[in-house]
Homo-oligomer: A and B are copies of this chain.
Amino acid sequence: MMGGVAIDGGNSSSDKPRRGRRVRMTGAERRQQLLDIGRALFAEKGFEGTSVEEIAAKAGVSKPVVYEHFGGKEGLYAVVVDREMRQLLDGVTGALTAGHPRELLEQAAFALLDYIESYTDGFRILVRDSPVAQSTGTFASLISDIATQVEDILGLEFKARGFDPKLAPLYAQALVGMVALTGQWWLDVRKPKKAEVAAHLVNLAWHGLDGLESKPQLVGRRKS
């Protein structure tokens, strides 16, 4: 009796139910909605802790719909991760406009914090471990993958400064780890403002504990 429709879950922003309280979305809309819900749930309860039924239920829809769109739980997860990864990378690489290394650092740190703030759920997913068998190595966290993207920039800088470029990965991991864990911590306390956190991170990464400034300032200009 009366299949073919679903009760509105009352979730996302601007669904204008055609009329009445039943929604029948278009394919693309439903797909996007499932991605949003999946991202949120994966962020909150991890991959294994989230069930397909839960996702479907939250979308006001039944399980087979999810399978229709993504072929299964891993399919959905893969798409979510891929999008989030791209989002972060675009944000960071897009922010790297300066030539001076220190400003580069500032921009990268700020971009990462920006991402963390705007796409909190995505960040949580990226920080958690992935269930997928990594092809490249045995990294536990997706964030480690991000770090490998930083090696290039650092490698160039090292070469120019006469340092051993083989050490770039080490420093890249260190820098990313620094920002990532601080970001994770910042998500909970939310105490210093974003710009201040960025300034202190740059302070530490640039001057070191030895030459720490007590009131660090970001040198670059930016919008937010």
Contacts and interface: CB of A to CB of B under 8 A. Distances in A.
Interface string A176-188: 1111111011101
Given A143-B181, A174-B182, A180-B177, A101 B209 contact: yes
A197 B197 CA distance: 26
A181 B188 contact: no
Interface string A157-181: 0000111100101110111111111
Given A208-B208, A214-B164, A127 B140 contact: yes
Nearest to A136: B188
Interface in A176-206: 176-182, 184-186, 188-189, 192, 197, 200-201, 204-206
A48 interface: yes
B101 A147 contact: no
A102 interface: yes
A138 interface: yes
Nearest to A162: B214
Contacts of A140: 124, 127-128, 184
Interface residues of A, number: 56
B137 A188 contact: yes
A138 to B, nearest CB: 5
Please give the count of copies of this chain that the complex contains. Answer: 2
A211 B210 contact: yes
Nearest to A164: B214
A212 interface: yes
Contacts of A178: 174-175, 177-178, 181
B204 A206 contact: no
A105 B208 CA distance: 12
A60 B132 CA distance: 29
A147 B185 contact: yes
A124 B209 CA distance: 28
Given A102-B210, A170-B185, A177-B182, 18 more contacts: A48-B48, A101-B209, A129-B129, A139-B184, A139-B185, A144-B184, A167-B192, A173-B181, A174-B200, A175-B204, A177-B178, A177-B180, A181-B181, A206-B209, A206-B210, A208-B208, A208-B210, A210-B211
